[in-house]
Amino acid sequence: MTFKFFPAALIAACLVLSGCKDAPDAASGTTTAKAAATPVSMDAIAAEAKGFTVGSTMSTRTVYVFFDAQCPHCAALWNAAKPLKSQARFVWIPVGILNPSSTSQGATLLAAADPVAAMDEHETSLLAKRGGISAAGGIDAQKAVVAKNTELMNRFGFASIPTIVGTHAQTGALVTQEGALRTSALAALLGLKDPGGQPDAPAQ
């Protein structure tokens, strides 16, 4: 699967959309079904991908999120998932598909002593159009990890970011989603309890 590189103006324009699901066709705000070259497998992701965990490490419910550090919709999903972290363990898996900063920033997040705090700082900066965190030095090993994560995502045939992979908490069925969701929609996708009384984190 080949991903297109976005002009900065297009990425900025996408910030005003609430439902841009398909990254290669971001301007249309539509999702295009892609035939996966390899069947999506939670076991394969667990064995081959590397990311950082948000939420209870003891939870039996694991949700994988492929994200690009330069993607504003990934930043929106990061915020939308926060109210659900007590119900599931979210594993955020950096990939590099948009531009060179995607890989270097993703690797920097992996190398951080506190990846969650670094991600908060990064996504706040990205949504403020400040470009995100600065790349660290000495992260060649982590860059190789990001490249491997990207290869796995490509192998599954996913064409959009963020991409969510998990199992429905009630049925056990495999669920996937390409594109950001608001908190209530993310809870519904995963079969989790909608955190009532809390407003949806905006899907920017």
Report pLDDT digits (tens) over 167-187.
999 999 999 999 999 999 999
Determine, yes or no, domain membership for 16. Answer: no
For residue 7, being part of any structural domain is answered with: no
Report the distance separating Cα 203 and Cα 187, nearest Å: 14
- Tokens representing residue 60 in the block: 């039996």
Domain count, the chain: 1
> Which pLDDT tens digit goes with each residue over 105-159?
999 999 999 999 999 999 999 888 999 999 999 999 999 999 999 999 999 999 9
Give residue 79's domain range: 44-190
Q: 12 in a domain, yes or no? A: no
Domain annotation covers residue 155 = yes
- Report the SS3 class of residue 87: coil
Rounded CA separation 25/16 (Å): 15
Tell me which DSSP letter residue 21 carries.
-
Residue 30 inside a domain? The answer is no
**Residue 33 above 50 pLDDT?**
no
CATH for 60 = 3.40.30.10
**Domain assignment present for 200:** no
Q: Is the pLDDT of residue 23 over 80?
A: no
Q: How confident is the model at residue 18 (pLDDT cuts 50, 70, 90)?
A: very low
Per-residue model confidence (pLDDT) at position 135: 92
> Does some domain include residue 120?
yes
Is the pLDDT assigned to residue 3 strictly greater than 60? Answer: no
**Looking at residues 199-204, what average pLDDT do you find?**
44
Q: Look at residue 184 and tell me if it is in a domain.
A: yes
DSSP 24: G
Q: What is the pTM of this model?
A: 0.80
What pLDDT score was predicted for residue 6? 35
CA 151/CA 164 separation, integer angstroms: 16
pLDDT tens-digit series, residues 69-119:
999 999 999 999 999 999 999 999 999 999 999 999 999 999 999 999 999
Q: What is the reported pLDDT for 51?
A: 97
Residue, of 12 and 161, whose pLDDT is higher: 161
How many CB atoms neighbour CB 58 within 10 A?
A: 6
Q: What contacts 114, CB < 8 A, 6 or more positions away?
A: none
